[in-house]
Amino acid sequence: MMRISASRKLFFVINNLILIALVLTMIVPLLNVLAVSFTTDLESYENTIKLFPRQPSIEGYVTLFQRVSILRPFLNNVYVTIVGTFLHVIICSMAGYVLIKEKFFGKTILVYAVTIPMMIPFEMIIIPVYITVKHLGLMNTLWSVTIVGVVSTFSILLMKNYFEGIPKSLEESAFIDGAGESTVFFRIYLPLAKAGLATITIFQFVVKWNHLLTAILFLNSPEKYTLQIALKSLVVSQELTSTTQSVANNTRMAGIVIAIVPLIFVYVFAQKYFIKGIMIGAVKE
């Protein structure tokens, strides 16, 4: 057996302690949010870090859905996220499929057109995007939040890398059997690129679910508000309800829990493909 030196053991101990400390900085705040969300209104005002509520209660969640009316923003957010993610995955996959074709007219220009936007932050083009959305008549509609950012250079290049790893012989055999481009794309390339699809789906799901800037820019009617606008008002404002009563901390934390839970579920179910997608799709041999 190979003996481990004292210095190496010390390195492992220090490394593990640092990792544990980093994990605690992420886990403890989440546990505190979850615990406070299940406290009573009075207990939630205590200025301490809680890992377990003394008197478990769902008062915060009752207030959240009855007085604050979080359900409508939540459903709006679900619509924007699901539709936006679906369009993103389909469009970026199609673009990646086109880029693996050996030669076609205008391919170089198309590659530049796809790559250049990766260097431009969204904050630099807010005004042109706002004007475009306004001229299209999409202001104060959920479609304005849905279609903005529906295409991503990262997703296109990731899917391109995946598609390039699929044997060309499968495509050629399909063409010989009389299949068209759409059949080859949907029945051969997409099924064999599940890990890549899961990766861009999770990334886009998180982006769409957590959107705030675009919602603030394009939405101005309460019935169109998405979850992030509602949470912003919930955390910042002291009087969100139809009464003169202020919103307690347990209600605020309940809103945060409601916003986090869908992300956790999506990651848990797609974790296997997501990790594989990061390891393989981003780096090609």
What is the tens place of the pLDDT at every residue in 124-149? 888 888 899 889 888 999 999 999 88
Residue 6 has pLDDT above 70, yes or no: yes
Nearest to 97 by CA among 197, 246, 218: 197
Question: Rounded to an integer, what distance in angstroms lies between the CA atom of residue 85 and that of residue 238?
Answer: 33
pLDDT tier, 3 (very low <50, low <70, confident <90, very high otherwise): low
Q: Which residue has the higher pLDDT, 7 or 218?
A: 218
Class of domain 68-281: mainly alpha
Provide the residue ranges of all domains of the chain, joining segments of one domain with +. 6-62, 68-281
Nearest to 163 by CA among 131, 186, 183, 192: 192
pLDDT tier, 277 (very low <50, low <70, confident <90, very high otherwise): low
Q: Which residue has the higher pLDDT, 274 or 233?
A: 233
Alpha helices (H) in the chain, listed in sequence order: 6-37, 41-44, 59-66, 71-99, 107-115, 126-135, 142-147, 153-164, 168-176, 181-184, 194-209, 213-218, 227-236, 249-276
Q: Which residue has the higher pLDDT, 280 or 47?
A: 47
Residue 53 has pLDDT above 90, yes or no: no
pLDDT tier, 273 (very low <50, low <70, confident <90, very high otherwise): low
Angle at 124 (CA atoms; ends 78, 160), nearest 5 degrees: 60
The overall average pLDDT reported for the chain is 83
Residue 120 has pLDDT above 50, yes or no: yes
- The per-residue pLDDT for range 211-256, each reduced to its tens digit, is 888 888 898 888 888 988 888 877 765 544 444 457 788 888 888 8
